[in-house]
Every structure is written in structure tokens, then in C-alpha cells.
């Protein structure tokens, strides 16, 4: 038997969603979706605004009731075992839920008091959550005085106090500057890679989605695509051959007479190609007329547009 297939058979589905539907009055927000999340993986749930992401996450996290479908979270069924599910998940909302006037530590202690833990165990859990998110040095600062990235890490620490198996993050890096975004992303990746946590996130940043193990794209309440980032790029985006010609007219003519479609941007002639190796016959044809060239691989941004026909922030 193919060893890869065998490997996939052994994987554990920690979240399974079957036939999920949710309406808000006459708005069909989620129209019947199926997907699963493998344990210990970084899972990205993508879609344009209004696609149904928050509705789906809120239902999986037991915060909102569904109209139809079955959802199993680590062996527990949503609507039947909600208490058990809540013990096993952590949630980081788009908007922080921490108190700006309390210190980071006080915020986590307040949160921890909801869990049935001994005082010592709770203190250890809080230390561990702060260490994992690299905020021990700001434990005694008031939350309201922190920078955007520090706040986000404190929000994540709050969600870790009960040692969740699955962490849900709704757009965890939105609104942060690029450097801070990278730092917060490193924290999130570390939770999955070093601590084996299952991470379920939504993001508007395709460069983050490209680092996920698996991606599901929802559009207009339905699943529009599923796959690894590499699979989605392969299927929904194209590579492009970008040529800076020595003699532009000669290159244009050669492309035209050979029926090769191209576009122009600044001083470049661009040919969309299915795969990188498809550049070879074109390069042979244009030999002697090429000043410089590069082959650009399709990106997750291209794939997203290919799947939904929309920019993610449209």
C-alpha cells in the first residue's frame, strides 16, 4: 500500500463538520458545509468578508447555535457536550476581552478563576501561558498601556490558561504593523510546532495562509476550495514568465506569430504559464532576444482570487 495513503489513514480528525447550516432570518449565512481539521495542524479558514467564517467558528466553539448539521470536537458533539468542548478549546476573538485597567497577570488570574483549578495549579498555568507567549516581562503592566503586539500576545495567553487542545484565533494579526504581525505569527506557529496544539485560524493575510498545513476557503456560505497551500496554488493560480526583452518588437512578433498570449507591464512582457517548465519552449523561441528573465510562482493571493473571483478585502 502507498505509505502516504497509509499515513493519512492514521491521522486524527479533531474537528469534524458535516452539513452545517445557519440562517439569520432570511440571510443564509452558512448553506451546508463539510470539512475537518486534523489534530496538531495549523488550519486556515479563509473567505471574503461576509462569507460565513465567524458564524462557523462561533458555532464550532459553542457560542452560537446551528440550524442543521453535526459537529464533533475531539469526540464531543456540539449542542450535546458543550461543557466538555469548552474545557478543551481556547478562543482569541478579533476584539480583545481583557480589562485595560488590570495588569496582564491580574487579567489572566481573573480568567483562570472560571476554571476549577487549585490555586498553585492555576498560578503555574498562568506562568506557563505567559512564558509560551513571551510576555513574562510585562506581567505586571496594565493591559491598557501595552503595544498592539503585546496585547495580542496577552490575548493569546488568556486563551491558553486552561491548557486547550485546540486554539481558535479569529484574525489574530489584523491591524498590527508588519513586524509585529511576524512576531505574533511566530508565537502562533510555536504553539502548533513546539506544543503540538491544533490551531484553527482565520486571516486576511495570504502570506500567513500560505504557511498553514491545510486551507479551507468559504465563499457565500459554501466551501469554495480545500487543500494544502501548495495544492491550491497549483490548481488556482498560474506561474508567469517575465521577460525584459532586448528588442521588444522582435519579442512581441515572435510571441504573436506563435500564438502565445502575453501582457505588458512597464518594460516587461509577461506570459502566464501553467507550470514552471512550460517556460522552456518559450525561452528557446526567444533565445537571443532576452535581456533578463524570471519565472514567478503563483501566490496564495492569486489562488484566493482564482477561487473566489474576489480580493480578500473586497
- Using CB under 6 A, list all residues that contact ligand ADP: 24, 27, 29, 47, 49-55
Question: Whose Cβ is closer to ligand ADP: residue 50's or residue 190's?
Answer: 50
**Least distance (Å) from ligand ADP to the CB of residue 59?**
9
Which three-class secondary structure string do you get for 101-118? Answer: CCEHHHHHHHHHCCCCCC
**Least distance (Å) from ligand ADP to the CB of residue 188?**
19
Q: Which of 182, 134, 130, 131 is nearest to 158 (CA)?
A: 130
**Least distance (Å) from ligand ADP to the CB of residue 47?**
5
Edge-to-edge strand ranges of the sheet holding 290-296: 263-265, 268-273, 239-245, 290-296
Burial of 134: CB neighbours in 10 Å, binned 0-12, 13-18, 19+: middle
Scanning the structure block, which residue is given the C-alpha cell 524570471?
294
Question: Whose Cβ is closer to ligand ADP: residue 28's or residue 96's?
Answer: 28
Question: Whose Cβ is closer to ligand ADP: residue 37's or residue 282's?
Answer: 37
**Least distance (Å) from ligand ADP to the CB of residue 314?**
11
Question: Whose Cβ is closer to ligand ADP: residue 96's or residue 110's?
Answer: 96
Question: Whose Cβ is closer to ligand ADP: residue 177's or residue 314's?
Answer: 314
Helix and strand numbers (H, E) in the chain are 12, 14
Strand partners, 222: 219
**Least distance (Å) from ligand ADP to the CB of residue 221?**
7
Amino acid at each position: 500500500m502507498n505509505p502516504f495513503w497509509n499515513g493519512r489513514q492514521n491521522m486524527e480528525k479533531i474537528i469534524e463538520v458535516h452539513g452545517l447550516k445557519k440562517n439569520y432570518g432570511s440571510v443564509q449565512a452558512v448553506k451546508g458545509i463539510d470539512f475537518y481539521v486534523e489534530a496538531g495542524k495549523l488550519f486556515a479558514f479563509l473567505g471574503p468578508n461576509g462569507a460565513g467564517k465567524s458564524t462557523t467558528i462561533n458555532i464550532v466553539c459553542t457560542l452560537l447555535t446551528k440550524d442543521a448539521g453535526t459537529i464533533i470536537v475531539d469526540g464531543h458533539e456540539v449542542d450535546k457536550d458543550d461543557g466538555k468542548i469548552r474545557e478543551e478549546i481556547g478562543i482569541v476573538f478579533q476584539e480583545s476581552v481583557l480589562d485595560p485597567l488590570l495588569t496582564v497577570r491580574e487579567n489572566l488570574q481573573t480568567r483562570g478563576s472560571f476554571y476549577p483549578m487549585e490555586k498553585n495549579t492555576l498560578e503555574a498555568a498562568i506562568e506557563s501561558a505567559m512564558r509560551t507567549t513571551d510576555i513574562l516581562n510585562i506581567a505586571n503592566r496594565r493591559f491598557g498601556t501595552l503595544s498592539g503586539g503585546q496585547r495580542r500576545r496577552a490575548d493569546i495567553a488568556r486563551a491558553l490558561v486552561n491548557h486547550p487542545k485546540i486554539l481558535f484565533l479569529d484574525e489574530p494579526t489584523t491591524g498590527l504593523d508588519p513586524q509585529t504581525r511576524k512576531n505574533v505569527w511566530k508565537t502562533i506557529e510555536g504553539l502548533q510546532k513546539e506544543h503540538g496544539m491544533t490551531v484553527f485560524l482565520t486571516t486576511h493575510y495570504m502570506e500567513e495562509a500560505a504557511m498553514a498545513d491545510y486551507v479551507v476557503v468559504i465563499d457565500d456560505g459554501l466551501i469554495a476550495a480545500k487543500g494544502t497551500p501548495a495544492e491550491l496554488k497549483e490548481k488556482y493560480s498560474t506561474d508567469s514568465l517575465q521577460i525584459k526583452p532586448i528588442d521588444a518588437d522582435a519579442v512581441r512578433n515572435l510571441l504573436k506569430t506563435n500564438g502565445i498570449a502575453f501582457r505588458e507591464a512597464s518594460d516587461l512582457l509577461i506570459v502566464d504559464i501553467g507550470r514552471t517548465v512550460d517556460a522552456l519552449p518559450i525561452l528557446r523561441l526567444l533565445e537571443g532576444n532576452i535581456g533578463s528573465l524570471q519565472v514567478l510562482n503563483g501566490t496564495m493571493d492569486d489562488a484566493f482570487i482564482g477561487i473566489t473571483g474576489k480580493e480578500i478585502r473586497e
